[in-house]
Amino acid sequence: MSETDPNAPAPRDDASATPHRRRPRYKGTHPRRYAEKYKELAPEQYPDAIERVLARGQTPAGQHVPILVDAVLAVLAPRPGERGVDATLGFGGHAQRFLERIAPRDVVDEARDGPSAARGELLALDQDPLQLPRTVERLAKLGFGSDVLHARRTNFAALGAELTALGWDDGADFVFADLGVSSMQIDDPARGFTFKFDGPLDMRMNPKKGLSAAQWLARASVEELAQALTDDSDEPHALRIARFVKAQRSELATTVALAECVREALAGRADDDAIESSVRRVFQALRIEVNDEFGALEALLRQLPTALRAQGRVGILTFHSGEDRRVKKAFERGLKDGVYASTNSDVVRASPEERRSNPRSAPAKLRWARRA
């Protein structure tokens, strides 16, 4: 079940109650630290600054550029009046495009049909309590309010319960998931996902729930850590890194401390590029463990057959082999059992242009299936 209903607009700063604060100053011509990117963090005030960041192939701070949008729309084929699910709302880039298709304002004669007569509805899930209200507010300003957008702060492992709570017992016409973390989460050092900048070693998509990455590391044994590094990110030096990390006298509390520790563990054993790849894999594996990403994905995949109406479509964007393997297997098994009528054998990838303009699209793979 959902933990909150964030359809209510996010609380605004009360200017009269908040003392004026000088904006952070930065050295040089471009802000480097997240907190200094005040223009990117206020896109309505500074649209030109956003355009310039996008033109450089970067993602503006506080935003997420949606990936493979045309391919996702082609696969899911959302139509006016349909019911859809976006299991990973994030910044709402994909959700906005679904809503434009299923709930277009111009096909409705409100005086004749009532305010939501021909408009479809989208159930949107995200477990991130910080981003969800901002996205709900952003989409409401675009005309997609709580009459067509049902946003719930919850793990997508609870998809079936959310459909039931909404009275959608026969399921939805399409379900979409864009796995992993958003740019807003990765880029904000305070969330602890990145080792590019120092921050608390947290990595929780829902920081109000479960163990932080630092706590998880402190509790894990050498064997558990080595297993996670192997299973979640195919790290070739898993045991060496695990032993070295667990031999540290004090708890690794920050992202930079963990990255440095992994570099030290591998010093002299691999070249610099290979060591940086290991650091990335360690961060990926920890993130997967802290958020139980594979447990949630498997729960979602199990529920899909009943979450989709007959001929319903599902599309899932995966970003590494652990995710892709699970989605591929579930769709192939469903095809064999007659649950799905079709699925793709060749994954859909981002074009060279999209990879250039949004490098975060490079590892993405789109898999889809159609319910029998």
Ligand X SMILES: C[S@@+](CC[C@H](N)C(=O)[O-])C[C@H]1O[C@@H](n2cnc3c(N)ncnc32)[C@H](O)[C@@H]1O
User: 316 with 345: CB under 8 angstroms?
Assistant: no
Amino acid at 292: D
- Cα separation, 348 vs 326, whole angstroms: 16
Nearest to 35 by CA among 45, 23, 20: 23
- Cα separation, 25 vs 20, whole angstroms: 15
30 or 141: CB nearest ligand X: 141
Q: How many CB atoms lie within 10 A of CB 141?
A: 11
Choose one: 21-29, 119-127, 256-264, 280-288; the region binding ligand X (CB under 6 A). 119-127
| Sheet containing 308-318, strands listed edge to edge, beginning at the edge strand earlier in sequence | 149-153, 121-126, 83-86, 172-178, 308-318, 365-371, 340-343
Nearest to 121 by CA among 104, 102, 107: 102
- Cα separation, 230 vs 228, whole angstroms: 5
Q: Does 94 bind ligand X (CB under 6 A)?
A: yes
Tell which one of 31, 60, 92, 133 touches ligand X (CB under 6 A): 92
Q: Does 194 bind ligand X (CB under 6 A)?
A: no
Tell which one of 31, 84, 93, 133 touches ligand X (CB under 6 A): 93
Distance of closest approach, residue 182 Cβ to ligand X, in angstroms: 4
Q: Does 149 bind ligand X (CB under 6 A)?
A: no
Q: How many residues does the chain have?
A: 372
Phi, psi of 222 (to 5 degrees): -55, -45
- Cα separation, 213 vs 218, whole angstroms: 9
74 membership: H or E segment, kind and range: helix 69-76
Binding mask 150-169 for ligand X (x = CB under 6 A): -----xx-------------
Residue nearest ligand X by beta-carbon distance = 90
Distance of closest approach, residue 74 Cβ to ligand X, in angstroms: 16
Binding mask 249-278 for ligand X (x = CB under 6 A): ------------------------------
Site for ligand X in 61-90 (CB under 6 A): 64, 66, 88, 90
Distance of closest approach, residue 53 Cβ to ligand X, in angstroms: 16
Distance of closest approach, residue 279 Cβ to ligand X, in angstroms: 21
Tell which one of 71, 225, 245, 296 touches ligand X (CB under 6 A): 296
The site for ligand X (CB under 6 A) is made up of 64, 66, 88, 90-94, 125-128, 131, 155-156, 178, 180-182, 205, 296
